[in-house]
A and B are shown apart, each in its own frame.
Chain A
Amino acid sequence: MNAHVEKVRSRGRSMRARWDSMPRQVRWIALLALVVFLYLLPNRWFYINLWYFRTMESDMATVLFETSFFVLLAVGLNVVVGFAGLLDLGYFGFFAVGAYTVALLTSPESRFDVGWPWLAAVPAAVAVTMISGVILGGPTLRLRGDYLAIVTLGFAEMIRLYAARNEGIANGQRGIPEIPHPVPSVKGSDGQALFGVVDARPYYWLTLTIIIFVILGVRNLTRSRVGRAWVAIREDEDAAQIMGVPTFKYKLWAFAIGAAVGGLSGALFAGKQSFINSDSFQLTNSILVLAAVILGGAGNIYGAVIGAFITWYLPEWVRGIGGVIGLEINVAEYRILIFGAVLIVMMIFRPQGILPSRRRAAEFADRRQEAAPTEASA
Chain B
Amino acid sequence: MDFDGLVRDFPDLTTTGLEQGAIYALVALGYTLVYGVLRLINFAHSEVFMIGTVAALGTWQAMGYNQDSSVSGIGLILLLVLAGLAAAVVASTLTAVAVERVAYRPLRRRNAPPLAFLITAIGASFVLFEAVGLFSDNIGIGGERGPFGMVRPFQPATLFSIGGWDITNTQVLVVFSALGMLVALDLFVNRSRLGRGIRAVAQDPDTAALMGVNKDRVILLVFVIGGIMAGAAALLWNVTYAFSRFDVGFLIGLKAFSAAVLGGIGNLRGALLGGLLLGVVENYASGLFGGEWKDFTGFVVLIVLLMFRPTGLLGESLGRARA
Contacts and interface: CB of A to CB of B under 8 A. Distances in A.
Contact of A157 (B124, B131, B250): B250
B111 A347 contact: no
B123 A344 contact: yes
Interface stretch (A50-58, A159-167, A193-201, A313-321): A159-167
Contacts of A153: 43, 122, 254
B183 interface: no
Nearest to A153: B254
B148 interface: no
A148 B114 CA distance: 13
B118 interface: yes
A158 B107 contact: no
A371 B303 contact: no
Contact of B134 (A136, A147, A333, A368): A333
Interface in B82-113: 102-103, 106-107, 109-113
Contacts of A291: 123
A378 B215 CA distance: 10
A284 B134 CA distance: 14
B188 interface: no
Interface in A89-110: 89
Nearest to A165: B292
Contacts of A81: 115
B266 to A, nearest CB: 12
B130 to A, nearest CB: 4
Given A139-B303, A151-B303, A337 B116 contact: no
A92 to B, nearest CB: 14
A158 B299 contact: yes
A367 B111 contact: yes
A347 B107 contact: yes
Given A166-B292, A351-B116, A150 B257 contact: yes
Contact of B120 (A136, A151, A158, A348): A348
B296 A158 contact: yes
A203 B66 CA distance: 50
Contacts of B296: 158, 161-162
A341 B126 CA distance: 8
Interface string B288-320: 000010011001001100110010000000000
A283 to B, nearest CB: 7
Given A150-B43, A287-B122, A337-B134, A378 B109 contact: yes
A159 B123 CA distance: 22
A157 B254 contact: yes
A344 B99 CA distance: 10
A340 B127 contact: yes
B216 A344 contact: no
Contacts of B307: 138-139
Interface in A177-209: none
A294 to B, nearest CB: 6
A215 interface: no
Contacts of A151: 302-303, 306
B120 A154 contact: no
Interface residues of A, number: 53
A334 B292 CA distance: 31
B1 to A, nearest CB: 15
A298 to B, nearest CB: 9
Given A162-B296, A342-B123, A343-B120, A348 B110 contact: yes
A375 interface: yes
Nearest to A155: B299
A85 B41 contact: no
Contact of A158 (B113, B114, B295): B295
Contacts of A232: none
Contacts of B131: 337
B103 A344 contact: yes
Given A151-B302, A162-B292, A145 B114 contact: yes
B119 interface: yes
A364 B106 CA distance: 14
B255 to A, nearest CB: 9
Contacts of A342: 123
Contacts of A301: none
A31 to B, nearest CB: 31
A39 B110 CA distance: 43
A348 B109 CA distance: 10
Contact of B123 (A149, A161, A343, A370): A343
Contact of B130 (A147, A336, A370): A336
Contacts of B111: 367-368, 370-371, 374
Contacts of A161: 292, 295-296
Contacts of A339: 126
B126 A340 contact: yes
A34 interface: no
B194 interface: no
A347 B120 contact: yes
Contact of B127 (A155, A158, A344, A378): A344
Contacts of A378: 109, 216
B223 to A, nearest CB: 16
A358 to B, nearest CB: 17
Contact of B310 (A85, A89, A147, A287): A147
A342 B40 CA distance: 21
Interface of A: 81, 85, 87, 89, 136, 138-140, 143-147, 149-151, 153-155, 157-158, 161-162, 165-166, 283-284, 287, 290-291, 294, 333-334, 336-337, 339-344, 347-348, 351, 363-364, 367-368, 370-371, 374-375, 378
12 contacts: A139-B303, A150-B254, A153-B122, A158-B296, A161-B292, A166-B292, A336-B130, A340-B123, A344-B127, A347-B112, A368-B110, A378-B216
